[in-house]
Amino acid sequence: MSDSSLRLVWVYPDLLSTYGDQGNALVVERRARQRGLGVTRVDVRSDQPVPTSGDIYLIGGGEDRPQRLAAERLRRDGGLARAASNGAIIFSVCAGYQILGQEFVNDLGEREPGLGLLDVVSTRGEGERCVGDVLADIDPRLGLPQLTGFENHQGITHLGPTARPFARTVLGRGNGTGDGTEGAYSDTVFGTYMHGPVMARNPQIADLLLKLALDVNALPPTDDRWYEALRAERVAAATQPA
């Protein structure tokens, strides 16, 4: 592999990067380099075009107005949608997850078109915010251990027929619909409400994206002791009696 064999794109860090979500880009990059894989990371601000030649695209969460601005610019730019049509891997968190769907409710209380990359529709919940630690069992088809993360959102996301739940909650609200679903995915496009950053708590998700990007079934092993210690700490904290 050449030094630029894997292209990692972090989308709109100036608008969508709350709760440490940019840590996901750091984890994917580090997990690649630990395996001796060449990786080039590109941080694309909202006033720049989104390149269509990336292998993995990461999008984080954001407040309501930045979310609307990001959705408007991504629709106008079209680069992320073209990358998806080329088979790129896309992983999104919270506001980014909603943007990838068919529509969401923006800061003006209006229905805002999403990019249509996931068959989900997000509305604004009327009850308490979904806030706190989450434990969830990831879809067995993905072959990943239990998900641990932190949610903080008012959104309610309903899955359409072509979207699969990324996980099913053991603890926490997830998509907020009451059906136990958390996040969604379809082919190589993924969405979740989990912050943390989620890949620091769940490095196997980063590995899944790398395997998909490289079209391999396995990666060389790496030292996971730090990640496993963090996972164990957060799972124990979440399951402790209040």
- Catalytic residue from among 130, 153, 158, 195: 195
195 counts as catalytic: yes
Q: Which whole-number Å values give the CA distances from 184 to 63, 188, 192, in the listed order? A: 21, 11, 7
β pairing state of 189-192 and 89-93: parallel
Helix or strand holding residue 234 (H, E) = helix 225-239
- Catalytic residue from among 94, 130, 153, 158: 94
- What are the structure tokens assigned to 14, written together? 């100036």
DSSP string covering 181-225? EE-EEETTEEEE--BS-HHHH-HHHHHHHHHHHHT-S-------H
Q: Which amino acid is at 152?
A: N
Q: Which whole-number Å values give the CA distances from 206 to 40, 56, 90, 172, in the listed order? A: 15, 10, 11, 22
Question: Which amino acids are annotated as binding site, given as ranges?
Answer: 129
Q: Which amino acid is at 209?
A: L
94 counts as catalytic: yes
Question: Which amino acids are annotated as binding site for substrate, given as ranges?
Answer: 129
DSSP string covering 124-156? E-SSS-EEEEEEEEE-GGG----EEEEEEE-EE
Residues serving a catalytic function are 94, 195
